Structure 1
Amino acid sequence: MANPVYGKQFKASTEDGKRNGMFWVVNICLILFLLWTPFQIALFNGLSFTFEKPIFWAVLLSGVIVILGLIYFYKQVKLDDQRDMISLLIILLPISYMISMFGAASWHYAVNMVLIQWMYAFIFIIGAYMLRDRLSNRIIQMTIMGSAYIIIMFGFINWFGQAPLGGKLVGWFSTAVQNGVYTDAIMSDSNGWRLTSVFQYANTYAAFLMAMLFAGLFNVSRLKKWYDHLLHGFMLVPIILSLILTLSRGGLVVLPFVLLILLLMLRPAQQILWIMYMVIAGVATAIILNPVTNIGLQMIAKYDGVTAAKGWGYVLITSLIVGLLAMAIGRFVAPKLESKTEGWGARRFASVWLPIGSAVLGGVILLLLIATNLRNLLPANIRVRFENINFQQSSVLERFTFYRDALKLFRDYPFFGGGGGAWGASFEAYQNNPYVSRQVHNFFFQYLVEVGAIGFIIFILFIGFIFYKYIRGYIKSKREVREGHFLYFIIAVSILMHSLLDFNLSYAYMGILVFLGLGGMTAAMDAKPLKRLKLKAGVMRGIYVTLIGLAAIIISFTSLRFTQAAKDVVDVAELAGSPNATYEQYRKLLDDALSIRSTYPEAVVYMSSLLAQGYQQTKNEQFYNEDLALLDKAHAREPYNKEIVKQLINLYQVHGENDKAFALLVDSIPKYKWDITWYEGVLSQAYVLGNQAYQSKDKAAEQKYFQTGLTVYQQVLDGIQYLKTLPEGQLQGREFDVTPKIALSVGEIYMMQGETAQAVDVLKKGVRDDLSDATNKQAAIYYLAALKKEKQNDQAVYDKVIAADPKAKEQIDAIANQQYTTTK
């Protein structure tokens, strides 16, 4: 039975609004925003300064849109029902990020995330109010689907080798186009070439495609017009094909679970239609999968117009056939299904058996592709991905490691979190092994470490309440009411479910889709009155509009300022490649950037390099003092930033404060404990400073440096032994071994201490075949010299060294004959 309150409220909220000029202004702005953002901010949330400018522009535009929206739906704001209250409580999310800034692992990233969270809040508010209007709701749904289909076809433009065409189509407004092509629209990793379209990361594109697949199925099964059936049916093949070409195992694993959830929400007739369309589109995709995959790989290697046209022919003709079949099903089959299953829906558990059966069937098919020779029908690159789906594969083991390491970070910031970007800033200090991942690969873990337990609970309660109220209202409402906003539920649940395995919401565009989806679900909720709120509607409206409007103005102005700072830093980076750049040019840009954001990490590093050069050339203490003050302030705000620490070490060294530089090197080891290059720097300085102390006959200093170096070397050996205990199948990540540079430094220390046997053992670990590298050659020379001291020889290495440098014999002899008076 329909809920009369829900149905009545929906009707009033979708028909009573006055569609004046401001209505169209807000809708047009939102349309342009949704069309522009995929090609601008389907990028990381500000973990690189190259991504920041478009993100800040998006934040600014969202603030402008919400201000326009407040003007339009001002009278709708009464705060007398739960939808209005949720639209107020959304500000708790950015506020929790604001609280986490104090004591953040990175002030810079934390501030960036505050702005992004306000953008999400603004988008949510727009959705919660604007999508109550039926026409606005229809317009935005069409925009979402239209932009999605553009993104998908843009992916195929790149897959079929026409990247320059894609660059021309979007280059006039997208900053992601470099050298005439969209950056990483197709990415290459250890798994081969993977389709990414605008996302530059295949797994996130897979999450997006999964959401759009279900959205397309929903539209083709519910809309009545023949052209809707043709369009959405046509796009099913490109979506499924793109999903497979991402080579995303996570997408394939999560898809059945999301499908099960969505099918349980549908009428039996819709369930059958969804399965029919999926089977038809799936079979059609399977038929063309091999040739389309092979053509794409050929086009990446070498473009050929005829072959590319053939690839397009496979996709477009197959899609057209499926679209025409969808038209026929919509015209002849769907009406009969509705009438035949009308009584079925009234039976107990009638809507459960088909979804469960479909999920089981899907699981059996996936199992057959994984465990039997059926997978041999797939293209080689896709077959390998299916073969590697198991819980002992590297990516699964690595994810569990990320999660455990994230909990270590959470323990250090339990209540309010480490601020936005905390993991990206500090993961090296918490990582179990030397992997490289500035993302936790799980949105919920990442959110937890950023805002702590309090902020996380607020978020879970917030989205949990929206899902609960939406699903409850959906179940009780009439058919025409429940279908009006179901698209937003599909988008939100698909992306959030996939985000259990990956960092999709580290892409600002994906966050926009999720919060717009949550806003759309809120718009469809039943308007249950707030019994305990007694303030007058006018008072509450004034408070709410003033609060959100003021926040929008402040955030928009801040974003505009930050946009300029980001531009200045990008300009400096470009200027660094110019041989004719002057000090004054660098200084002007950096002063401008730092006047806006005084500890902007990249600006600090560039400015520090400039000031350090000034000091080296003039010995003017003013340069040193300015540089030191800049770095000290930045280091306090960015304690984990490796480049800032390096600049501070360099400054101490050019100023002759070698003790301070060495102490900072050693003290920073826990922050970068799996960075072998950091150990190289420590051990190199341990030898250099110890040797200087030896030359000046400072025994105490000599032993301090040498013993510190040997202690650090033991840490390297302990780390190497630990890595051998990693589970079979888990990759260790970056190299962590005794490098030639480490072997040379430690070997020299041992030789100065008269322990040539230990020197031989260490130096042997640093011997490499490539003797064109100066460090490699020097390590080999010291190895041979240490052997000579021990009355031994390694003829094979000796022959290689002499062949590479005939004069090396004299150096070997000189080192072997060197006598040291130092003692341990």
Structure 2
Amino acid sequence: MAGKQRKQKSKAADHGISGWEWLVLALFTFYLALWPFQFAFFNGAGLHSDSQMFFEEKTYYGIILGIPALLLVLIKVAGNTKWEKRHLIGCIALVWPLLYFIHSFHAESTYLNRIAFHNSILLYSFFVLGIVVSGLKQVLRKLIHLYYGVGSIVVLYSFAYLLGNRYRLDALSFNEGVRLTSIFTYANAYAAFLVTMLLIALYQLISPNKHWIRLAYAFMLVPIGVSLLLTLSRGAILMLPVIAVIVLLLVNIKKQLQILIYAALAFIPSFAIQSFLADKGLEVYNRIQTQLSENQPIKNISFFASESITGWLLIIGTALALTAVIYWLSQYMDKTEVGEKSHRHARFYIPILLVCMAIIGFVILRAGLLNSILPDQISDRFNNFSFNTHSVLERYTFYKDAITIWQENKWLGGGGGTWEALYDHVQSYPYMSSQPHSYIVELFLDTGIIGLVIIVGGVLYLIGNFIVRLSRGAIQGGADYLLFLLIPVSLLLHSVIDFEMSYMFFSIIVFFSIGVLAGQQREAIFHERRGGNLQRAKYGMVAVWGVMTIYLFIGGINSFAAHSNYNKSIGMMYAQQPFNQLNDKLEEGLTRVHGHPFLLRQLSQNYIAAFQQTGEQQYAVTARKYVDELLAAEPNSSMGIKARYQIAIAEGDLEEAVVAMDLAISTYPYEIGYYEQAITNRAKLWDAANSAEDSKAKLEQEQAISRIVAQYDEYKQKLADIPKAISYIRVFELSDQVKGIVEKIEQ
């Protein structure tokens, strides 16, 4: 009898987890296991960076996840017997990838828009998947646990970078102190991830979970808290009070108090151990920099070495101590009742108080009154914060330059990657940034006013609609969905001033979660009409999703094939294999992805090099063919102009070379190399005219050089007006040799 009861309980526990739902969990397990090894599917290196080919592969590992997501949606919806408002929202959201599809015919960067179009299908697929699974609370709870479990491994593993047990390029950076960037290699992105982990941990601690589950969440509070402090991310830390207020407004007074107490308990010990760990990280960072400067291999420290184990013991010991405190405290707090029914607006008191405390706390921090208490890195970071810091001024400049770009394509934008394609055409000083540092600005440039209204307006509507329904009690078990509100809101808030959404790991989470919120709109449609309308709508959407799945599959396969052929060609070149064979690989890649700029550039460089070595004209002709294709494929990229200049120099055609550099100077006014090449080559033409006693040609070159110098002086003067807080890596100063050429000609 007892055995039978146990079996019944077991069946009840597993009730609701169907085969389809296990497939959803399998997809997310694969996704969460994959992203730490793929740089969080970063999609943002761009045309200016040779690392784009490295990150393109990582991007497509993320994009192909849209294939199983769409298949799962297709299977589920095909079996639906009713059509609800949430399904209609999924249909309307097709406008999103459609915006990028339209730009496939004319974009500022065809290559980047192609990736953006594939990415939009991926995010749409997870958005619709969120809609479909929105009512499956068991699945959603398991997804939260799964996310947190993998995230905890990432957080703990990241300390191996800090303590020198493992090495990854840029996992530690330095800016007003050592900064932990982890697998994201960008401190603000890691901070955004840690905020999502903190939200989950705090919310799960106040939720009715089993004791061992709550203890697992409690244990990670210190590692998460101290990691957040070690990122030195001002944006994330300043955003915390905003997110905290949103969280508190959505729960009752008892849970408000619990959240604040647990958060305080997390950060007090985190502040206490931050300095010690920061010093350890600084030692590791300095050692790595020394080894890199001396071209030595990076040597990792043993986990059990004294300089490492002390850090690990401090982290684990502090985490265990806090876990014990929370275990004891939670037993008391769970039994404590807090009266709030007598006061209608009682739940607003604590959020209002928190806002006041945050403002006062910020003023105190800025005044330096807590310097003796806070870790040096933290106090210095906040003391230096103002609207006159380089990060604020740089972002302001990016946004101002973005407005200039937007004016070229106001309504529909310039397609995916518009900022990356055009920023160096209009930049206010010689910065390098493949990202506009704002998701809003990125959407604004890519999709114009229409796209911004549709996408941002749609997101705001879905979030707002969910909050209204939740406040009215219209969502059954609404508390189970709060994390799917808080996580995307926290990420989107931070992405307003940064580029977290360029990490597809984040964008998948955001739009899946918003899909879960949209899925709460369950009003039936077609309920008073003939069943034929339902069938037509259902199978129409299934057909569309099927086409999108096939397209994404073909696009993904072609991209991987092109990337593979590129890598094989580079490997063959280093192995000094036959010239024709390595070019065949590149040409084979072009049959998969037409107009791929990096393949075209490599082909043009190969044939230019062959022409320079052999002098055979057929190589020059072939090189020009690929240069022309590169210019046609990516007219806004400097790759084409550089290739055109290289072939002209190789053929000894200085006239064409100076024309190419004149175009380059007018298009990229802050690239000093173009000025120097233009002046140097025109000086050669001037010498030739002088030797031939051709006064007309000589005067023509003198006037051309004067125009180049005048433009250089104009842009040099603009730099004098740039705030001193802004620093830039690219030098904008003519070399002494070129200055000597100018002086000689002007005499």
TM-score by length of 1: 0.83
Instruction: Confirm whether residue 252 of structure 1 aligns to residue 248 of structure 2.
Output: no
Q: Is the 8 A contact 1:683 1:742 kept in 2?
A: yes
Q: Secondary structure at the match of 1:247?
A: coil
User: Aligned pair in 2 of structure 1 residues 706, 676: CA closer, same or farther (>3 Å)?
Assistant: same
User: 1:784 corresponds to which residue?
Assistant: none
- 1:196 is aligned to 2:192: no
Give the letter for the 2:69 counterpart. I
Decide whether the 8 Å contact of 1:38 with 1:198 is kept in 2.
yes
Take 1:727 and 1:247, find their aligned partners in 2: how far apart are those partners?
24
Answer yes or no: is 1:83 the counterpart of 2:86: yes
The higher radius of gyration belongs to: 1
SS at match of 1:156: helix
CA RMSD of aligned residues (A): 2.4
CA-CA distance at 1:439 after TM superposition: 0.8
Q: 1:221 offset after TM fit, Å?
A: 1.2
Relative to 1, partners in 2 of residues 1:82 and 1:533: Cα closer, same or farther, differing over 3 Å?
farther
Q: Does 1:561 align with 2:558?
A: yes
Question: Which residue is equivalent to 1:68?
Answer: 72
Distance in 1, Cα, partners of 2:526 & 2:484: 25
Secondary structure of 2:683's aligned partner: helix
- Judged with a 3 Å threshold, the aligned counterparts in structure 2 of structure 1 residues 694 and 152 are, in CA distance, closer, same or farther, namely same
SS in 2 for 1:194: strand
Aligned mate of 2:108, from 90, 105, 110: 105
Deviations 1:322-351 (A, max 9, x none): 222222233221331xx323525xx33222
- Aligned AA (1:551): M
Amino acid at match of 1:209: L
Residues 545-596 of structure 1, C-alpha deviation per residue, up to 9 Å, x if partnerless? 11112101111221111011112223334445x2534313321221121111
Extract unaligned runs of 5+ from structure 1: 1-13, 164-180, 756-824
Compared CA separation, residues 532 and 573, structure 1 to 2 (3 A)? farther
Distance (Å, rounded) in 2 between the aligned partners of 1:471 and 1:285: 33
Give CA deviations for 1:152-179 in whole Å, capped at 9, x if unaligned. 112112111111xxxxxxxxxxxxxxxx
Residue identity opposite 1:194 in structure 2: R
User: Shift in Å at residue 528 of structure 1?
Assistant: 5.8
- One-letter amino acid of the structure 2 residue matched with residue 156 of structure 1: F
- The SS at the match of 2:179 is strand
Q: What SS does the corresponding residue of 1:243 show, helix, strand or coil?
A: helix
1:298-357 CA distances to partner (integer Å, 9 max, x unpaired)? 334454612211111111111112222222233221331xx323525xx33222120121
Q: Deviations over 1:426-466 (max 9, x none)?
A: 21011111111111111101110011111111102221221
TM-fit CA distance, 1:413? 1.3
Pick one of 356, 363, 383 that aligns with 1:360.
356
Alpha-carbon separation, structure 1, partners of 2:77 and 2:560: 29
What secondary structure is seen at the aligned counterpart in 2 of 1:412? Answer: coil
Give the partner amino acid of 2:266.
A
CA distance in 1, matches of 2:603, 2:720: 42
Q: Given the alignment, which residue of 586, 598, 611 partners 1:602?
A: 598
Q: Is the 8 A contact 2:72 2:129 kept in 1?
A: no
Deviations 1:250-286 (A, max 9, x none): 1122221122122111211111111011111111112
Letter in 1 for 2:609: Q
Could you say which residue in structure 2 is the equivalent of 1:657? 653
| Corresponding residue to 1:586 among 582, 585, 602 | 582
Cα distance in 2 for residues equivalent to 1:653 and 1:144:
55
Mapping of 1:179-328 within 5 angstroms? Answer: 181-186=167-172, 188-301=173-286, 303=301, 305-328=305-328
CA distance in structure 2 between the partners assigned to 1:335 and 1:97 by the alignment: 54
Amino acid at match of 2:347: S
Q: Show the counterpart of 1:49.
A: 53
> 2: distance between equivalents of 1:747 and 1:328?
80
CA contact (8 A) 1:82 1:530 kept: no
Report the counterpart of residue 291 of structure 2 in structure 1: none
Letter in 1 for 2:22: W
Q: C-alpha displacement at 1:689, in angstroms? A: 1.9
Rounded to whole Å, the distance in 2 between the matches of 1:444 and 1:479 is 30
Aligned equivalents of 1:341, 1:687: Cα separation in 2: 85
Q: For the structure 1 residues 162 and 732, does the alpha-carbon distance in structure 2 shift closer, same or farther, using more than 3 Å as the test?
A: closer
Amino acid at match of 1:485: Y
CA distance in 2, matches of 1:420, 1:268: 45
Secondary structure of 1:483's counterpart equals: helix
Change in CA separation of 1:22 and 1:530 when aligned onto 2, cut-off 3 Å = closer
Are residues 733 and 206 of structure 1, via their aligned partners in 2, closer, same or farther at CA, if it must alter by over 3 Å? same
Please give the alpha-carbon distance, in whole angstroms, between the structure 1 residues aligned to 2:537 and 2:561: 36
Are the equivalent residues in 1 in contact too, given 2:41–2:58 (CA < 8 A)? no
| Whole-angstrom distance in 2 between the partners of 1:693 and 1:254 | 64
How far residue 618 of structure 1 moved from its aligned partner, in angstroms, is 4.3
Per the alignment, residue 537 of structure 1 pairs with 534
- Counterpart of 1:36 (choices 15, 27, 34) is 34
Shift of the alpha carbon at 1:508?
Answer: 1.2
1:415-564 equivalent positions in 2, closer than 5 A: 415-477=411-473, 481-527=477-523, 529=525, 536-564=533-561
Find the aligned partners of 1:377 and 1:676 in 2 and give their Cα distance.
47
**Does the Cα contact within 8 Å between 1:82 and 1:529 map onto a contact in 2?**
yes
Q: Which ranges of structure 2 fall in alignment gaps of 5 or more residues?
A: 1-11, 47-51, 288-300
The offset of 1:732, in angstroms, is 4.9
Following superposition, the deviation at residue 471 of structure 1 comes to 0.7
Match among 123, 126, 136 for residue 126 of structure 2:
123
Q: How many correspondences in the alignment?
A: 714
Is 1:202–1:246's contact at 8 Å kept on the other side of the alignment?
A: yes
